[in-house]
Chains A and B, each alone.
Chain A
């Protein structure tokens, strides 16, 4: 055997989803923070801090969808079926926001507020339903005969709704620290003031989700709290607390870059925690990546293309961010 193709594809897709969360997280966060910033000039700056990079996220979202289809068709079929409504609403939110983003630049001043509202609404809708989908995914799906056997509204639970709200806060923090890094002056100051309370809220919701999950799912509790696992996984919550502390310190010390980087670390830790809870299932609670995987002829065929092209996409992404380093100011908007 040698090469474990399902594992490789699980890693590629997990990586793609994480790239998506990281890269779309902060620009969805900007949409969430938009209502708190009233000044038109500052809103322009907020838009300009993500304009050169925001579309990259779409790459990973489409790649994740298509990759899942090819590599784990069963998971693609069951999960997308079960999450029909939240996913459609999320996609519509993303489309709305994407088009609003572009047309805001091209609209006349008098009409711009309409596109602003579309941008805010799209960002909130997309984030909320992404969180709901995530919560429902953790809750797992009833599968009979290789197809989803639950009801149309199984995804709608107190837990999934809470996850939706939690993701809004988490993305708001990402957006907030991104703006601390990319802006200066009054806007940066405002973000500074918002960061501290946001960190506490994020810590609280992370704690609640982290406790709620094992409480509802004995298998996940077993994964975390049995020995010796407890010792192996202990670093995750410990690092979360350390990161949060460091994040609060860096905000207090008026740091520019570290708040964003530490928030990214927090997101990454949360993502790892999720991975630990669900591994090796691609359809929680019980269908593993090997059971749901496409035959090796399919996964191998796709891998050739993916290994050739994903490095290009990564290099291009890195280059974009490198070119776009530094602060964005109000003056930048004017030629």
Chain B
């Protein structure tokens, strides 16, 4: 099928379903913490603006959470359907970690999510705030477990191999494997940033259309403080993560840098742009800065960075792809930092909310965090190839061995169904955003709870808006 091997199709299918999925949890993580901050500020200051923003974003949070649950359903099965040899080989380690991730999510759903979404008028403000904070922490605990599993596949430790299978011997070592702290920090921060830019773009969009109220201004302002403070921190964490990767997965770094060989004792240059060619074993059309590669990656001017030719061809990742995905991620990061700086400059004299070029930029930067997350994941996951578990199992040995025709068929189904359904879901979320925060909308919080029509098990029920414009003849739910 299109000259793709069955293995490629299995990988594309997994990449497709997880790429769709990851967007929702990332925004969930970010919005949950944002909501906790908003509610904290409302309780502290008594400024109703924070309360109104809380109610506006909690609806979007709910719809997004629902999409995450639905797209996550598939993920619980994709390991077995597409990677059965991997599941048998490493299930004793990755299975329990995945189980803890879903248990955490369900624990949230059964407990605090209900209070958070539907309990505004039923419980005291303190308990409600506590629930929001717990949901925010819970999303991070879920992140913790799934990234422990993923990081273990990059830097496995704490196990033995008995009878050709992985047996965990030290769970602490398994969970806190060498790349885990960096990956967790990098991903959680990425989720915060992606959310901040989504929120900021929403505000800028309304301001450009002349819809200006203090709540909208507050949204933009908060988003830009995040950009100013957190985007540089993210660059720093990313640097640490890169050094960690250099130590444990040097071939990945060589592929990211498109760096084929070291010449004599010369320090490694940094290739800014170029086209890594896997067949010719060189990076063509390259623009490079001497010694900068050594400076960034070894923090010295004489040490060399490992090169692709240090590794046999069968152990190299596809440099053409990861070279560029990495640069897309970095470009997004740099743009975020610049947006944060420009926004801060415009705060002088309140121009932030009126400078149209800047507002246009903020709108365009809306998806930047999500693009950076996807590009970053492609970098780290494709950069890990040809291994599914670094040094232990090759991806080619991990798959279920379905035929290309079969995988092509299901992939086509996934593509159609996902674009239709999640397209509708994302469209609905953007609709909610378009309505914009209203002054005093927090006064009438929607009621619901376990066993009621609006229930945390159906997060989408938290939003009442119709799918389309026009008269609101949406189906009234039982109350």
Interface residues, chain A, with chain B CB atoms under 8 Å away: 44, 47-48, 51-56, 58-59, 61-63, 65-71, 73-74, 76-81, 83-85, 87-89, 91-92, 94-96, 98-99, 102-109, 111-112, 146-148, 152, 294-295, 297-298, 301-302, 305-306, 309, 312-313, 315-317, 319-324, 328, 332-335
Q: Which of B69, B424, B478 contacts A333 (CB 8 A)?
A: B478
Evaluate contact between B171 and A63: CB separation under 8 angstroms. no
* Contact present for B93 and A52 (CB under 8 Å): no
* B467 partner, pick from A52, A62, A107, A324, beta carbons under 8 A: A107
Contact A87 to B100, CB < 8 A, known contacts A103-B467, A108-B474 = no
Most buried by B among A55, A62, A99, A309: A62
Say yes or no for B262: interface residue by CB 8 A criterion. Answer: no
Given contacts A48-B453, A62-B76, A333-B475, contact A73 B81 (CB under 8 A): no
- Decide yes or no whether B461 CB sits under 8 A from chain A: yes
* Partner of A106 from B95, B167, B403, B467 at Cβ < 8 Å: B467
Interchain Cβ contacts under 8 Å between A and B, 18 examples: A55-B458, A62-B102, A65-B80, A68-B80, A70-B97, A73-B90, A74-B88, A78-B84, A81-B401, A91-B77, A99-B70, A102-B458, A106-B465, A152-B406, A294-B91, A309-B104, A316-B450, A320-B450
Say yes or no for B110: interface residue by CB 8 A criterion: yes
Which interface residue of A316, A321, A332 has the most chain B CB atoms within 10 A? A316
Are B88's CB and A51's CB within 8 A?
Answer: no
Q: Are A87 and B451 in contact (CB under 8 A)?
A: no
Q: Is the CB of B474 within 8 A of A76?
A: no
Q: What sequence of 0s and 1s flags, for each residue 437-477 of chain B, a beta carbon within 8 Å of any chain A beta carbon? A: 00000000000011111010110110101111010011111
Interface residues of B (CB under 8 A from A): 66, 69-74, 76-77, 79-81, 84-88, 90-104, 106-107, 109-111, 167-169, 171, 400-403, 406, 410, 413-414, 417, 421, 424-425, 428, 449-453, 455, 457-458, 460-461, 463, 465-468, 470, 473-479
A315-B450 Cα distance, complex, nearest whole Å: 11
A294 to B93, CA, bound (A): 9
CA of A102 to CA of B428 in the docked complex: distance in angstroms? 11
Q: Chain B residues near A79 (CB, 8 Å)?
A: 80
Contact assessment for A320 and B451 in the assembled complex, using a CB-CB cutoff below 8 Å? yes
Query: Which residues on B sit within 8 Å (CB–CB) of A306?
Result: 99, 103
6 further A-B pairs in the complex, CB-CB below 8 A; given A312-B107, A319-B450: A62-B102, A63-B106, A96-B421, A99-B424, A107-B475, A306-B103
A to B contact number (C-beta, < 8 Å): 262
Contact B87 A73 (CB under 8 A): yes
Contact status A335-B476, CB under 8 Å: yes
Q: If A52-B453, A69-B94 touch, does A295 touch B84 (CB 8 Å cutoff)?
A: no
Q: How far is the CB of A249 from chain B (nearest CB, A)?
A: 30
Q: Which residue in A53, A70, A147, A317 is a CB contact (below 8 Å) of B88?
A: A147
Query: How far is it, in angstroms, between the C-alpha of A71 and the C-alpha of B92 when the chains are bound?
Result: 7
**Cβ of B417: which chain A residues have Cβ within 8 Å of it?**
92, 95-96
How far is the CB of B259 from the nearest CB of chain A, in Å?
A: 38
* A80 and B84 within 8 A (CB): yes
A334, B479: Cα distance in complex, Å: 8
Q: Are A104 and B475 in contact (CB under 8 A)?
A: yes
Contact B66 A108 (CB under 8 A): no
The answer on a CB contact under 8 Å between B99 and A70 is yes
Give bound CA distance, A119 to B197, whole Å: 35
